[in-house]
Structures are given as structure tokens and as C-alpha cells.
Amino acid sequence: DAKTTQPNSMESNEEEPVHLPCNHSTISGTDYIHWYRQLPSQGPEYVIHGLTSNVNNRMASLAIAEDRKSSTLILHRATLRDAAVYYCILRVYYGQNFVFGPGTRLSVLP
């Protein structure tokens, strides 16, 4: 699996937008970009995924660079509940294995 690079930690104020970056310069044409997050004392939960186009769902938006070598997870209004470790993962559609990197620990300040 191709590797991703994320900042170790980020901080945000409550009710402000958060942009979490991910670099994946060795991404292949068949790799989907996935984002999961792990709240304290819980298992990871799915946030969003995409291939080439930007994606939106009720939790977040995913902005994918035109060359696909980077992406950004956007939380439109951070809440205290969004404090978690966010993982950016590349995965071939029909492949089954996720490789979790260290992720970005997001702190949300009241």
C-alpha cells in the first residue's frame, strides 16, 4: 500500500472549520483515499472516501488535489465531539487491507 503523511497534531477552536491535510505522493490510479477517525476509547469510525472528485457527506467534505498527490478532510464546524485521531488511508477498491499510519490528533478548544 502507498504511504500517507499527516501532521502529528492540530488544534482548532469550536465552531470553526478544520482542514486536515494528507500527502500521498506515491498514490496509484486505483487507490481510493479513505478517512477514518478514532474517538477516545473507541474503535475507528468511517468518515469519508473518494477517488478523484471532491466528496461531501453529513460528517465532512473531502477535497482531492487534481494530481491526487494530496487531499484535505474538511470539518465545516468543529465541535468538542470531533476531538479524535484522524487517519488518512489509501486502499485499492478490491483490496481488503487497511494500513493505518500514525494519524493526526485533533484537539478542539471550547
Note whether 101 binds other proteins by CB under 8 A.
Answer: yes
Binding residue for other proteins (CB under 8 A) from 21, 44, 63, 72? 44
Binding residue for other proteins (CB under 8 A) from 26, 98, 107, 109? 98
- Considering the complex, what minimum distance in angstroms separates the CB of residue 15 from other proteins? 27
Residue placing its CB nearer to other proteins in the complex, 43 or 110: 43
Q: In degrees, to the nearest 5, what angle opens at C-alpha 4 toward C-alphas 53 and 10?
A: 90
Residue placing its CB nearer to other proteins in the complex, 8 or 66: 8
**β-pairing, 31-38 with 45-50?**
antiparallel
In the complex, which residues of this chain contact other proteins (CB under 8 A)? 32, 34, 36, 41-46, 49, 87, 91, 93-94, 96-103
